[in-house]
Amino acid sequence: MKNKIAVLLALGISISNIFSADIKIKGLYLGMPAQDAVEVLNKIFPKPQIPSRDDNVQKEYKLAKFSDGYVIIYSGVSGESNLDNPMAGEALNFFASFYPMITTDIDKKVDEISISPNVSNQLFNSESLDANEFVKKFMDAYNIPEFKPFEKDNEFLWKYTNSDGIEIYIGSDKSVLIKKAPKSQFN
Instruction: Report CA dihedral (37, 59, 173, 163) to the nearest 10 degrees.
Output: 10
* pLDDT confidence band for 173 (50 / 70 / 90): very high
pLDDT tens track for 47-72:
655 555 555 555 677 777 777 777 77
Helix or strand holding residue 112 (H, E): strand 110-115
Could you tell me which residue, 34 or 64, shows the higher pLDDT?
34
Asked whether residue 103 carries a pLDDT value surpassing 80, the answer given is yes
What does the pLDDT look like over 105-130, one tens digit per residue?
Answer: 989 999 999 998 988 988 899 999 99
* pLDDT above 90 (res 75): no
pLDDT at position 94: 63
Nearest to 71 by CA among 86, 58, 61, 79: 61
Stronger pLDDT, 42 or 9, i.e. the higher one: 42
- Kindly give the interhelix angle for 131-141 and 117-124, rounded to the nearest 10 degrees: 50
pLDDT band (50, 70, 90) for residue 42: confident
CA nearest 101: which of 87, 112, 90, 109?
112
Least confident range from 27-36, 37-46, 81-90: namely 81-90
Question: What percent of the chain shows pLDDT beyond 90?
Answer: 37
Q: What is the mean pLDDT of residues 128-137?
A: 95
Q: How far is CA 114 from CA 26, 63, 110, in A?
A: 13, 16, 11
Question: What confidence score (pLDDT) does residue 142 get?
Answer: 92
What's the pLDDT at 135? 96
Strands 69-75 and 101-104, bridge-based pairing:
antiparallel
